[in-house]
Chains A and B, each alone.
Chain A
Amino acid sequence: MRLFRQGYVTAPVLGALWFVVISTTVAIVMSFATGAAFRPSVGLSLLWGVLAGVAVIHGRMIARGFGMMVGAIGYLGYGPMVSGEVGLLPAILGHGAVAGFGVLGLMVILDGVGRAALTRHVFEEAVIRFLTGFGYIFFTAIVLIPFYVMVMTSLKNQSELLQNPLDFSIDLSKGFGLLRSYQELFQDFNFGTYLVNSFAISVITVFVTLLFSVPGAYAVARLRFRGRAAFSRSILLIYMVPMIVLALPIYIAFSMTGLRNSILGIVLIYPVTTIPVALYMLQGYFRGLPSEVEEAGLMDGLSRLAVIWKITLPLALPALASVSLYVFMIAWNEFLLAFMLLDDPSKFTLTRGISSLNSSEIPRQHLMAGAVIATVPIMALFLGLERFMTKGLTAGSVKG
């Protein structure tokens, strides 16, 4: 370890690793943005990274000059990233980005690292800054790439997609023609109906779930009755039963009673999956509320139900909001039951509608446009109410 804690060892090693990360990232970003041939060269990245590490610990001016040199050399074809036949602007942009992010990032990472032996603190902080930068890049990339592909594919047409699968640049001159897949989905595939169905079903599910889970959670959290502990545990157990186990009996029973292929049946069965989750989340929250306030209410002559209505629920509003959001999300995203129980296209939910697009006759930009239509509302809701959502998720919601 002591060997590593020399400025002349730490800086080049971190520099080499950082340059590999940056050149790979920039190559992927540029390929996805322009469709042109960019690729990182691991050997050259390591070499330039080592030199950059040495340059950075010799002072800011040397480092900046070195950065410009790397950019220029990259343009000539021997930099950390190699570009094939690309235009002038993408080439300058790409190599500039590699040199800039590489050297400036390294300057931040190696802040305080000198030429001589390093203390343990300086060394570990530099390593942690490197890992932080890498973590940000890595996680952002893996989260964004599938969604980026989803949105961009939905805006293209079949021949463009087959010609160059990497080219996600958008031809803005087409104007509204870009949204043709969406237009066709709403006109020819009834996606407007699916959207309304999904929304109605989710909202009803939220209300039904709250109607049952609020009193249930209150009972488990506050009242003393025989078998309370067993009841509390069985909620957790039911909560863990996978839907596929229940799917068969539900399918048979619904077929026999004629509830299959009806919105009523779906509205009846969705709360079955969400009530245990809501019960579990709410009882945890109710337990955290001070019981003295409720006891004071009881002393003043309110009935138990009035106490719940006038005291507990107003206090639990944030929890109710996050539970509602979470239940809405489960109902909106539910796939298995909708897939099994619905056959009639006029009653499809969005998820069921998308799965009906998955056939070889329907072009895949339609499939992706459907996916975008299903994703955007829940994302918007989630980003708008993120505070409640993150709280709700950690408040014991582990279903999924």
Chain B
Amino acid sequence: MRGLYLFPYVAPVIAVAFSWLILFDPFSGSANALLVQMGMTDSAINFFGERPLALIMVTVFEIWRYFPLSFLFILARMQSIDSDMYEAADMDGASPFQKFWYLSLPQLLGILSVLFLLRFIWTFNKFDDIFLLTGGNAGTRTLTVDVYEQAFAISNIGAGAAVAVIIFSCLLFFSFFFLKYVSREEGL
């Protein structure tokens, strides 16, 4: 059953992005119908079309799509923690929360920081998801969407390439940190 929780990550981005668009459609989306029925809102909400909300929804989508990956990495690390330590803690009478806080969490710090850096870099560079969900409208135009908009929508290839160069220099900057930390953590 664990495979089920990886579905958002494995499914094609275009399929899940369009499902989200239809689920949160302002006119006939199920999410709006549900919210109205539960009395949370009176009128339909335009989830992907209003200014602060669109950015929040795109972020929620990214979280939804990539939580399985972090889930898997953390799980793999958890399973590799030595069980002797927990037995010793049981003998000393540690409570479940104490075991989590003083034993599991310190062991997970390494993978958590790697995941943080990696997901930060990858999400910073994400294009497909945002392009499909909002097309960069309603305050969600990121650098990557801007490359596309400049180069193809208004056919200014030069400006598009300039934005791409900016993305690349940001990436170089981030990967400096990444290589510095990950080399230590993963022994690369």
Contact = CB atoms under 8 A, between A and B. Distances in A.
A146 B23 contact: yes
Contact of A32 (B22, B30, B118, B161): B30
Contacts of A370: 15
B4 interface: yes
A398 B69 contact: yes
Contacts of B32: 165
A200 B19 CA distance: 26
A124 B18 CA distance: 42
Given A336-B128, A374-B14, A39 B95 contact: no
Contacts of A162: 28
Interface stretch (B49-57, B81-89, B102-110, B164-172): B164-172
Nearest to A242: B125
B13 A233 contact: no
A371 B37 contact: no
A19 to B, nearest CB: 16
A166 B179 CA distance: 49
B37 A31 contact: yes
B188 A241 contact: no
B7 A354 contact: no
A145 B34 CA distance: 12
B121 interface: yes
Contacts of B76: 394
Given A143-B7, A248-B147, A382-B6, A354 B14 contact: yes
B19 A146 contact: yes
Interface string A120-153: 1100110010000000000110111111011001
Interface string B80-122: 0000000000000001110000000000000000000010011
Nearest to B125: A242
Given A139-B5, A146-B20, A386-B3, A400 B66 contact: yes
Contact of A237 (B25, B97, B125, B175): B175
A245 B96 contact: no
SS class, residues of chain B in contact with chain A: helix
A304 B5 CA distance: 42
B127 interface: yes
B188 A233 contact: yes
Nearest to B127: A244
Contacts of B138: none
B118 A379 contact: no
A232 interface: yes
A236 B179 contact: yes
B144 A242 contact: yes
A244 B33 contact: no
Given A32-B30, A242-B167, A378-B10, A125 B66 contact: no
A33 interface: no
Nearest to A378: B10
B9 interface: yes
A40 interface: yes
B5 A374 contact: no
A241 B125 CA distance: 8
A13 interface: no
Nearest to B38: A39
B19 A244 contact: no
Interface stretch (A173-181, A291-299, A327-335): A327-335
Contacts of B121: 240
A62 interface: no
B122 A399 contact: yes
Contact of A143 (B4, B160, B171): B4
B58 to A, nearest CB: 15
A161 interface: yes
Interface string B131-173: 0100000000000100110011000010011001001100100
Interface in A218-255: 232-233, 236-237, 240-245, 247-249, 251-252
A245 B164 contact: yes
A39 B40 CA distance: 10
Interface of B: 2-16, 18-20, 22-23, 25, 28-30, 32-34, 37-39, 64, 66, 69, 72-73, 76, 95-97, 118, 121-122, 125-128, 132, 144, 147-148, 151-152, 157, 160-161, 164, 167-168, 171, 175, 178-179, 182, 186, 188
10 contacts: A39-B38, A147-B7, A166-B34, A233-B179, A236-B175, A236-B188, A244-B167, A367-B18, A368-B19, A398-B118
